[in-house]
Amino acid sequence: MFISSQVMIIASPCFAQSSEPPIGVTELIIESIERIEEGIKKFERQMDELTEEDPVVDILNSMPGTGRITVVTVRAYIDDIERFDSYKKLSDICVIKGRSEDNGR
């Protein structure tokens, strides 16, 4: 949002006389979006490399509804999983609620 608002501030005077963006503004916006997308891809690759052999990340990834950012964030917060005596203590802290076989769901 920040970058797109900067682009709009720069481009605003150019739109005053015409409903069409001036030549070059559209390309500038497209290039900005492409750079942001590349940065996101690079960040995701780094997260994958850092967590590829982490068994806790594998477990968290197996939970329905969890995405890459959530898994890495929860993993960073958990740190050493051995510090939790039970799943309940972990879930209370992280607000993770899985299905329980003994409650019929």
Count other C-beta atoms under 10 Å from residue 2's C-beta: 6
For the chain, where are the E strands, in sequence order?
A: none
AA letter at 7: V
Determine if the pTM surpasses 0.85.
no
Summary mean pLDDT of the chain: 77
AA letter at 13: P
How many residues appear in the chain? 105
Residue the block writes with tokens 């950012």: 69
Residues 6 or more apart whose Cβ sits within 8 Å of residue 1: none
> What is the predicted pLDDT for the residue at 78?
81
**Mean pLDDT computed over 95-105:** 54
- Residue, of 92 and 47, whose pLDDT is higher: 47
**Mean pLDDT computed over 46-57:** 90
**Mean pLDDT computed over 21-48:** 91
- The tokens describing 26, both together, are 């559209």
Count other C-beta atoms under 10 Å from residue 60's C-beta: 20
